[in-house]
A and B are shown apart, each in its own frame.
Chain A
Amino acid sequence: MLKRLAKIAIISMISGSIMFAANFNAQAEKDRHAFVNYFLKKFKNPVKNQAKYFPYVSIKEIKKDYIYPLSFQAFQDGSLSWYKPSKEQFAEINAFPPYEIPLDDGEALYKKPFANGKTYSSCFPNPAIKQNYPYYDTKKDEIITIGIAVNECRVKNGEKPLKYGKGDIAKVISYLAYKSRGQKINIKIPNANAAKAYEAGKKLFYKQRGYLAISCNECHVKGAGKRLRAEALSPALGATTQMPVYRIKWGGLGTLQRRLAGCVKDTGSEKPKMQSKPLKELAYFLTYMSNGMKLFGPDTRK
């Protein structure tokens, strides 16, 4: 009897851990569903749900300036997804997209041989890969962003790594993004450490910080659909689909890492280094939240 009980206990322990092993993304999936549903509900009928979701704006203004209902994929456009005046303005700008020239440069860089005669295509034979980044490398036990992958490719071929955030690296990533347009974001959480990294990124997103004691959540979830001075706040859903972006303010291309570092600083916090562990975790979390959305970078922003 005792023997049998012990057997059952052992079997259930083993099967329990197997079940657990297969489910490193269980919590993340739960989070993502709640996250996506929040945005779909919020932007389904802002007039009807004004009191619940948009207490900061009048019904009159919603009727005049808001675009709704928004489909899942519509959130790819950031603040342009819901704010009519911005959308119209940027439709005009994108008639001749300012990212086109740096994108062409990116293509040239992708095809230009390194000193050893090889090109980026020796690492990325199929450039339509951006949907899988950032990913958790279980061997290296760390997050690999697309910027890191580009630099690893360079180093492997005897070239110096590029500076992160802007310039040539943003151009090359833009080309990879362009070739990945239409691919659906597909971020995975392969093991317990990856789940930990996801949780750390989630905390960085939701926990208030800096001398403003504010969180990303405050502006890009609760505040998504709000006007903040001259800005219209973008929903965090879809926030990584259009990267890299040509920002008028920057006068050039910038990567997701660059944008995230700037936004952390805007909470009144010390600016984190690009590709530092916390910023990679933030990118991992944020991109996971947009799983299943189609990519369409690069794009233009204010």
Chain B
Amino acid sequence: MKKLLLISTITVAFLAGCAMTNPYASNSADSAIANAQAKYNKAHSEMVAWKNTKKILNQAKKLAKTDPKKATALANKAAYQAQTALTQSAEFEKTWRSAMPQ
């Protein structure tokens, strides 16, 4: 019984630990890449992604292991582009009709 309790405590602690931010995550590019990927996917599905965003994101993925600092910077750039594309699209959605010939 004691043993079982111990195991479950460890398991819970382990799961909680995973759910919390990994102290090493700041040194890894993974979360930045995941964030950029999600934003890019959204922009892409709405057909508003910019020309080079996917390329930048792919570069980030390539460098994730060897140069996490640079990979993070690239991923953040891709995320920024994708987010700007989405924000811009929402803004233009309000006004585009007024540009039509009347």
A residues apposed to B, CB below 8 Å:
31, 34-35, 37-38, 203-204, 206-211, 213, 215, 217, 221-222, 265, 268-272, 278
Contact = CB atoms under 8 A, between A and B. Distances in A.
Given A208-B92, A211-B81, A34 B100 contact: yes
Contacts, number: 55
Given A270-B53, A278-B47, A213 B88 contact: yes
Interface string B55-93: 000000000000000000000000001000100110011
14 contacts: A31-B100, A34-B100, A206-B97, A207-B89, A207-B92, A208-B92, A211-B51, A213-B92, A215-B99, A217-B99, A265-B51, A270-B44, A270-B47, A270-B54
Given A34-B102, A210-B51, 20 more contacts: A31-B100, A38-B101, A203-B96, A207-B93, A208-B88, A209-B89, A211-B51, A211-B81, A213-B88, A215-B99, A217-B100, A221-B101, A265-B51, A268-B51, A269-B50, A270-B49, A270-B50, A270-B53, A270-B54, A271-B51
Nearest to A38: B101
Most buried by A among B48, B85, B96: B96
Nearest to A200: B47
B interface, size bucket: 20 to 34
Interface of B: 44, 47-51, 53-54, 81, 85, 88-89, 92-93, 96-97, 99-102
A208 B47 CA distance: 12
A112 B47 CA distance: 39
